[in-house]
A and B are shown apart, each in its own frame.
Chain A
Amino acid sequence: MTRLTVPKTYKLYIGGKFPRSESGRTYEVVSKKGVFLANVALASRKDARDAVVAARGAQPGWSAATAYNRGQVLYRIAELLEGRREQFVEELIATEGASKAVAAKQVDTAIDAWVWYAGWADKYVQVAGNGNPVSGPYFNLSTPEPTGVVAIVAPQASSSLLGLVSVIAPAILSGNTVVVIANHAAPLAAVSLAEVLATSDVPGGVVNILTGSPSEIAPWLAGHADVNAIDLAGAEALDWVDLMVTAADTLKRVLPPEAGVPAPSLERIVALTETKTVWHTKSLI
């Protein structure tokens, strides 16, 4: 007799907890072969609203942590991902129809991308910031700071785990907190990633993951006045120009859609920061 499995329930990840959608809705996720996999929470605009509240609540504490500490937290997440490697590979095989080799490569690439970004936490300031030689008796220093709460549409085509990692890591290492709309067709990796985050040292609310319909949720985030930036990496198939127009109402910083998964990049980190320049007088007498 084969052993009866205990199927997992897939819920949203908001504020460090796993609630169902307040709307009670779910949607069916099937494998590439059409086999039922799970009923995944279908996030509503109110869930998005709650996620923004959680993200804003967590932002001051997360940005106040030392860069070293954030780098350590991110590196630890990589350790946990490594530990759960097999689980992620299984999920990608099921949801993306990938072969074991392809799925394994995606997971390894995702872990390595996470490590790459973890190493930037205490360095990007040294590359993107600098002292300025102004004309006058002034000390002058420019430093990038996190912009705040970032809404993200994760890549929607293949590579659901790698896509997610590639947009979350660069945003949070500097001290931003995020609300992410996961890959609609292949959301399981997102929830498993959320479980990794929940057991890591990253405080609740730093990363919030909504499974559901990007076309339904993205406009609410694009228009939300308490979101500072929106990353439309995975919005290629949406009315993304409309989203940009909506975002313009509150002058959000906007990252445009990308074909495929965004490559590791310093620019992506810096694009979600604000540069602050401080002047201070200097005088001996």
Chain B
Amino acid sequence: MSDLSKTPSFLDYAPAPESTSILHLKKSYGLFIDGEFVKGHGAPFLTISPSSEQKIAEIANANSRDVDVAVAAARKAYDRTWSRMSGADRGKYLFRIARLVQERARELAVAESLDNGKPIKESRDVDVPLVAAWFFYYAGWADKLDYAGLGPNPKALGVAAQVIPWNFPLLMLAWKVAPALAAGNTVVIKPAETTSLSAMIFAEILQQADLPAGVVNIITGAGDTGEALVNHPDVNKVAFTGSTAVGRAIAKSTAGSGKKLTLELGGKAANIVFDDAPIDQAIEGIVNGIFFNQGHVCCAGSRLLVQENVHDEVVDRLKSRLGTLRLGDPLDKNTDIGAINSREQLDRVRELSDIGEAEGAVRWSAPCVIPDKGFWFAPTIFTNVSTSSRIARDEIFGPVLAVLTFRTPGEAIAKANNTPYGLSAGIWSDKGSKILAVADKLRAGVIWANTFNRFDPASPFGGYKESGFGREGGRHGLAAYLESAGWGSGK
């Protein structure tokens, strides 16, 4: 952002607000169970806009009794309707949902930005189109499960319990619901506490699609709602995206229960920039890797591993590039960096950044003007970071980049792999043989070469090691929701 004390600057673009008049928000939302909105029996809570701290709506809170009702609805729908329906018909429902998402795309994007804090540019151009694409893609699998690679006529698991995070609320919902339904399961899904709004509008879409009651149930609430859900005895499958700490707890509590489990957890991805990288695109890739979605991305390129002989040049160019990033109102179409999702998350990012400074790393932040209200953190780079620094090891989940160096490809690989996480990695080089050999050796489930943060419903996504297990997207994404022939199918 340019200095406001100078004469009016073109780069101070005039406000370009996306109107919220497209929304028809309710004052309060209920739980979506068995095709209807019903009252929750826990204490309702407010969802606020993290950019203004203003209240948006009241959200229902599902207690364990509500969880029972939701699971029972899913079970009934599975037994009586969904498991008896042809794959072709399940597919038609999913096609309808995809189309309705496309029709209400703008509304969903505005709601998402308002509730989550992410720039409208991202929810409009990335999140919501991917949501529609995910439903389109899996719609086509519903009647082709014989070809999934799991044997002829693979069976659904039954009722799936799904808990999703706040960073891509509607997209994470699509990643969970679409394959589950395509494979023939019914679903009880719990959105994150701070970001339930888009899920509530999605529930309206399910009604417009005339989806049979109980096939998808959306129960809002906090951590205890999620816990009750994943531990419910009548659930056949658990899918969780969120922190590694909670993932561990779920793995422990579902051990021996016979429930199939997939987890998509945290990451501390290395973005490796070689001296023969296409330099301007590498800078964009670094920026995209850690500052897209305010760094609230499990697969964020939060460690820059730059070849030592180009370190200074890369850091220099990176800082120049950050000078045109615009931080501010998520609903302004020119905003690049939105609000941090919650006060809690902001505190965590600040805390870890302070630790980074205390450990001796050199801190530099983009010169952004921070608004008075709301939760904000300027894009920040740490140089002089060592591999043992907390900021090189811990997932910060914010717009904070740790910069480290390497001398040889082998050393880059060793440093990149030297983490309990293993979700993603980036490789920047103009040399194909090197890219492919490095990719071979990186222990990460998603590897981006000369690009970053690319998602597609046809492309499997998931981690190694403590970043979780199982894959979402692609043909591989069906495996989580079907019985595998021959093993692991019984209780």
A122 touches B88 (CB 8 A): no
B137 touches A122 (CB 8 A): yes
A71-B437 contact given A115-B88, A123-B458, CB 8 Å threshold:
no
What distance in Å separates the Cβ of B276 from its nearest Cβ neighbour in chain A?
Answer: 13
Q: Does B136 sit within 8 A of A, measured CB to CB?
A: yes
A68-B140 contact given A115-B88, A122-B458, A280-B432, CB 8 Å threshold:
no
What distance in Å separates the Cβ of A144 from its nearest Cβ neighbour in chain B?
Answer: 14
Please tell me which one of the listed residues B88, B95, B144, B413 contacts residue A120 in the complex, with CB atoms under 8 A apart. B144
What distance in Å separates the Cβ of A113 from its nearest Cβ neighbour in chain B?
Answer: 10
Q: Does A67 sit within 8 A of B, measured CB to CB?
A: yes
Interface of chain B, helix or strand or loop or mixed? Answer: helix
What distance in Å separates the Cβ of A8 from its nearest Cβ neighbour in chain B?
Answer: 30
For B136, list chain A residues within 8 Å (CB): 68, 71-72, 75
What distance in Å separates the Cβ of B178 from its nearest Cβ neighbour in chain A?
Answer: 13
A283-B434 contact given A120-B140, A122-B137, A126-B475, CB 8 Å threshold:
yes
Q: Does B436 sit within 8 A of A, measured CB to CB?
A: yes
A119-B433 contact given A67-B458, A112-B88, CB 8 Å threshold:
no
| Contact residues, B434-474 vs A (CB, 8 A) | 434, 436-438, 440-441, 457-458, 474
For B140, list chain A residues within 8 Å (CB): 71, 118-123
Q: Does B143 sit within 8 A of A, measured CB to CB?
A: yes
What distance in Å separates the Cβ of B94 from its nearest Cβ neighbour in chain A?
Answer: 10
For A121, list chain B residues within 8 Å (CB): 140
A282 touches B433 (CB 8 A): yes
Please tell me which one of the listed residues A68, A266, A281, A282 contacts residue B147 in the complex, with CB atoms under 8 A apart. A266
| Contact residues, B109-133 vs A (CB, 8 A) | 133
| Cα separation A284 to B409 with both chains bound (whole Å) | 6
A116-B458 contact given A126-B475, A283-B437, A285-B409, CB 8 Å threshold:
no
Q: Does B235 sit within 8 A of A, measured CB to CB?
A: no
Q: Does A263 sit within 8 A of B, measured CB to CB?
A: no
Q: Does B155 sit within 8 A of A, measured CB to CB?
A: no
Q: Does B175 sit within 8 A of A, measured CB to CB?
A: no
Interface range, B side: 20 to 34
Number of A residues whose C-beta is below 8 Å from B? 25
Would you give the 0/1 interface string for A90-129, flagging 1 where the beta carbon is closer than 8 Å to chain B? Answer: 0000000000000000000000100110111111001100
Please name the residue on chain B nearest to A79 by beta carbon: B99
What distance in Å separates the Cβ of B430 from its nearest Cβ neighbour in chain A?
Answer: 14
For A27, list chain B residues within 8 Å (CB): none
| Cα separation A122 to B133 with both chains bound (whole Å) | 11
For A72, list chain B residues within 8 Å (CB): 136
A139 touches B147 (CB 8 A): no
| Cα separation A126 to B437 with both chains bound (whole Å) | 23
What distance in Å separates the Cβ of A228 from its nearest Cβ neighbour in chain B?
Answer: 25
Q: Does B76 sit within 8 A of A, measured CB to CB?
A: no
Would you give the 0/1 interface string for A254-285, flagging 1 where the beta carbon is closer than 8 Å to chain B? Answer: 00000000000010000000000000111111
B436 touches A139 (CB 8 A): yes
Please tell me which one of the listed residues B133, B413, B433 contacts residue A281 in the complex, with CB atoms under 8 A apart. B433
| Cα separation A121 to B147 with both chains bound (whole Å) | 14
A282-B141 contact given A68-B133, A115-B91, CB 8 Å threshold:
no
Q: Does A137 sit within 8 A of B, measured CB to CB?
A: yes
For A284, list chain B residues within 8 Å (CB): 409-410, 413, 434, 437-438, 441
A119 touches B139 (CB 8 A): yes
| Cα separation A186 to B287 with both chains bound (whole Å) | 61
Offer 16 A-B interface pairs, CB within 8 angstroms, sorted by A.
A68-B457, A71-B136, A115-B88, A119-B140, A119-B141, A119-B143, A122-B458, A126-B475, A137-B437, A266-B147, A281-B433, A282-B437, A283-B437, A284-B413, A284-B434, A284-B441
The 4 closest A-B pairs by CB, nearest first: A119-B140, A282-B437, A282-B436, A281-B433
Task: Add 9 more A-B contacts to A119-B139, A122-B140, A284-B413 (CB < 8 A).
Answer: A68-B133, A75-B136, A115-B95, A116-B144, A119-B144, A122-B137, A123-B144, A281-B432, A284-B441
